[in-house]
Structure 1
């Protein structure tokens, strides 16, 4: 008699907004990068779907929402211990992307709304549409094209820009 196993997994589905600033290239970047990058402080891509002009991404569900909501939209402030845990988790995610990934990448959209929190308030980076390969070896130039959120610039971009 065959065994039947069922797994219940809660996911979040992100739909490409055709009227938004990010398009098919950014959607492909998310699929490509998150398909290869696995780290406890990066949100997990569960699957994706492309059909006609529809683009969907299925991510692990993060029950505590974004860090932005907890810092700026809640009446009760987060305890400092949780804030420090979030800062350390987000930093570990960034360090992995910059220094430990097989192909280092630059995460262009580092902000509190892109830091999601799991049930234990562990921070995970999300929204990889603007991620780009970092310079390696003899490839020393990083594009200085403005990307991501106003007010944040990856240190690698600024270092490269200042040298030019």
Structure 2
């Protein structure tokens, strides 16, 4: 936020806030579609093929097992229906692009960059913490797992709203 607001005036000449917000919206819609695809694909559970292991190291006292597969790239991107590290990275990029556009817009409206950066950092951290705690608690409720498609729908709605 601080960086985008600091260079907002320069970038506004090349990359308008409207375009940045639209790009962020398209990325959010894309991630939402991917989450929905993963949800509906998870109904077709397939047994993953066991990869041939080249080397296995097990340290029982630490409960550590290290396995090196012959072809680790064959591993499926995501079969769990949950947000993986890669999906989290894509979501972070989408939200960063959206935040970048918001930062440019805020700087053009005359908001103080330092104050906005602090407020965004505090609020993002607060909502991330609350979301992680609620997610941990609510993930154990089996009846809620039927609604795992909702994050995808919400991302699509937010993406459309941002456009």
TM over 0.5: no
Greater C-alpha Rg: 2
What is the TM-score normalised by the length of structure 1? 0.23
Structure with more of its chain in helix, by fraction? 2
What is the TM-score normalised by the length of structure 2? 0.23
Structure with more of its chain in strand, by fraction? 1
User: Which fold has the larger relative contact order, with Cα–Cα distance below 8 Å and residues 6 or more apart in sequence?
Assistant: 2
